[in-house]
A and B are shown apart, each in its own frame.
Chain A
Amino acid sequence: MPETLGGTPLEAKSSRGGNIFTTSYVPQLRYAWDTGEAIGRYLQELKQERLIARSCHQCGRVMIPPRMFCERCFRPTDEWVYVKDTGRIITFSLCYVSWDVRRLKQPQIPAVIEIDGASPGTGILHVVKKVPPKQVKIGMPVRAVWKPSAERVGSITDIAYWEPNTKTKKRQ
């Protein structure tokens, strides 16, 4: 530590010898988030290996994740619509740091997937695998890889990951 900052520099080893007095505490931070009607249904459908969206008849959008209110028209949405479990990458990141700040040799590839059947630009944030990081491209067609039925619990992670969908032709 530069001397200009003052204070008393400490290293991890100082606390181990019992010379530096410390206190530690692990609070119990459990929560239960109310899914609401739209996300509740969305999660149930994920358990059944299906993606569901909500449509607004006024603006014509098909929204995923679904919501009961159209933020553009300022009115309730109208209909449940099943959409496909395929789509395209509309943005992605090569992430060399895990959520708890560990370095990763192989990057994770979080991506926003525009879902086939939903309105353009409407998508969900998920993770892409089975592709060399340098080959990931915006517009790349992908498909959902679902967990086995017994492992699905009604969670966004019921989709294990998305992989390149080689059967789809490139969009014109």
Chain B
Amino acid sequence: MKQPVKSKAPSVWPGEIPIQSFYTAGSGGQIFFKALKQDGKLIGTRCATCAQVYVPARSFCERCFSALTETVEVKRTGRLVSYTICHFDRDRHPLNPPLALGLAQLEGATTLMLHHLLDVTSPDEIKIGGKVETIIKQRTKRVGSILDIEGFRIV
């Protein structure tokens, strides 16, 4: 008679799903990233009908669905609309110092842009409605990514 196995292990089966994403910026994003990389400019697209300036640039208007062809350069400065201070990264590891994210409306844009809020670690240092400036990396360090922008700095 065979003896049954007495061990209580294993109780779980571990595994890993190999997935890799690969996104293109699209025809609207292409305008934005090209200008950001080559000229350090922030470019949006304008819908005259809806009086909207989308930043980053996109290829159609979210309100009326018409194709957007008119590009607009917006300023690096703007107003802080909202923020959050993250004490954990997306893998749940503690962040010390914590990482601040800011939602800003740049002058000339009607949309909001999310990015790092630089050099702040506490809500005491932040005022909603306060002026921020977009900090862009040096030309040689720019690759055509949203991280060519370092973030917003409170001014």
Contacts and interface: CB of A to CB of B under 8 A. Distances in A.
B12 interface: yes
A22 interface: yes
Task: Classify the secondary structure of A's interface with B.
Answer: mixed
A44 B6 CA distance: 9
Contact of A80 (B4, B8, B17): B4
Given A31-B16, A80-B4, A23 B145 contact: yes
Contacts of A20: 24-25, 30
A25 B21 contact: yes
Contact of A24 (B9, B18, B21): B21
Chain B interface size, as a band, is: 20 to 34
Contact of A21 (B8, B17, B29): B29
B24 A22 contact: yes
A44 B5 contact: yes
Given A20-B24, A22-B25, A25-B21, A34 B11 contact: yes
Interface of B: 2, 4-5, 7-25, 27, 29-30, 33-34, 37, 91, 143-146
Interface of A: 8, 10, 15, 18, 20-35, 39-41, 43-45, 47-48, 50, 80, 82, 154
